Amino acid sequence: MNKRLGFLSGNRMRTAAASLVAAFCFSTQTAATVSVPDAHKVMEDVYRQDSSHDTTMRASFQVFDKQGHSAKKEFTYRRLGSPGDGKTLVVFTAPAEIRGVALLSINQRGVSARQFIYTPATQRVRSVVAQERTARFIGTDFTFEDIAERILDDFTYRLIDDKETMDGRKTWKVEATPVDSSRSQYKYIYYWVAQDAPVILHAELYDAQSRQVRRLHASQIKHVDGVWGARHTEMSTVQDGTRTVLSIEEVKFNARLDEKLFTPQGLAEASATKAGK
């Protein structure tokens, strides 16, 4: 059965929405508001709410430079598996100069994250090396690491505060620290998770020198068909004064995506499929 709505996973960005974040934030249940929960449980609720086998999204990046000039980049996002334990595929559809560029991210529990990028101009697939994971993804404020969904158990979590509000909602403020510092560009991340719905409303990301380098903010939070999510998520680069707004326009669940598209060998075909045009 298919469901449609506009939203952003907290980890699918990545999380953010978590998530792509992010990632990139979904849930079919509400967070506890009476007793103070375990920080890991707060984040687990954000990750584990989406039980679909696969997800397809139509979305766009609106990229703003320091002077406020903007450029729009449209793409499809497909995920096979669950948030933070699956494979994601981003294929750009516009503008013409990046149409067909495809990024495959493999993020599975117990396996080191891997990414592969396909460029139509060269008709080649290459691995994204570790040094590139800190670079901007196709000129946006999201890095390659941010686009890949983060794995829940790759971080430890600590509850910092339960009284702060964000956009009128009470939140859990959670500190996330990488278990292995070599696997993330961030020394730690602060998440503000809504107490009335397990969705990430805000995040601050800090580098190895404990400097805040990026800031994420989710807006237009919606609850449709039992799922919470954000229609818009903005990622800003603090030092550069730039920002990118991720807008989710359409989502389909359980469309029976072809698994062979989620391999390095299938990237050329994924780039040319109807869903990627």
pLDDT tens track for 202-221 = 999 999 999 999 999 999 98
Q: 3-state secondary structure string, the chain?
A: CCCCCCCCCCEECCCCCCCCEEECCCCCCCCCCCCCCCHHHHHHHHHHCCCCCEEEEEEEEEEECCCCCEEEEEEEEEEEEECCEEEEEEEEEECHHHCCCEEEEEECCCCCCEEEEEECCCCEEEECCHHHHHCECCCCCCEHHHHCCCCHHHEEEEEEECCCEECCEEEEEEEEEECCHHHCCCCEEEEEEECCCCCEEEEEEECCCCCEEEEEEEEEEEEECCEEEEEEEEEEECCCCEEEEEEEEEEEECCCCCHHHHCHHHHHHHHHCHHHC
pLDDT over threshold 80, residue 59: yes
Do residues 20 and 239 touch, judged by C-beta distance below 8 A? no
Q: How far is the C-alpha of 200 from the C-alpha of 213, rounded, in Å? A: 18
> What's the pLDDT tens digit per position in 242-258?
999 999 999 888 889 99
> What's the pLDDT tens digit per position in 72-82?
999 999 999 87
**Average pLDDT over the chain, rounded to an integer:** 85
Highest-confidence segment of 95-104, 219-228, 250-259:
95-104
Q: Specify the pLDDT at position 55.
A: 85
| pLDDT classification of 178: cutoffs 50, 70, 90 | very high
Q: How many beta carbons lie within 10 A of that of residue 241, not counting itself? A: 12
| pLDDT classification of 130: cutoffs 50, 70, 90 | confident
Rounded to whole angstroms, what are the CA distances from 212 to 31, 139, 190, 274? 28, 20, 10, 40
Which whole number is the average pLDDT over 253-271? Answer: 93
Of residues 196 and 16, more confidence is placed in 196
pLDDT over threshold 60, residue 232: yes
Q: What count of Cα atoms within 13 Å lies in the side-chain half-sphere of residue 260?
A: 5
Q: What percent of the chain has pLDDT over 90?
A: 66
The single residue listed with the structure tokens 């059965």 is 1
Structural domains in the chain, sorted by start: 11-272 (2.50.20.10)
Of residues 103 and 20, more confidence is placed in 103
Q: How far is the C-alpha of 174 from the C-alpha of 147, rounded, in Å? A: 21
Task: Single out the residue of 233, 209, 198 nearest to residue 7, CA to CA.
Answer: 233
Which whole number is the average pLDDT over 122-146? Answer: 95
Task: Single out the residue of 217, 206, 216, 211 nearest to residue 184, CA to CA.
Answer: 206
Q: Specify the pLDDT at position 26.
A: 36
Q: Specify the pLDDT at position 173.
A: 98
Q: Please report the sign of the dihedral spanned by the C-alpha atoms of residue 237, residue 238, residue 239, residue 242.
A: positive
> What's the pLDDT tens digit per position in 105-116?
998 776 777 999
Q: Specify the pLDDT at position 50.
A: 76
> What's the pLDDT tens digit per position in 27-57?
333 343 447 789 999 999 988 877 778 889 9
Q: Specify the pLDDT at position 207.
A: 97
| pLDDT classification of 85: cutoffs 50, 70, 90 | confident
pLDDT over threshold 90, residue 228: no
Which whole number is the average pLDDT over 263-270? Answer: 95
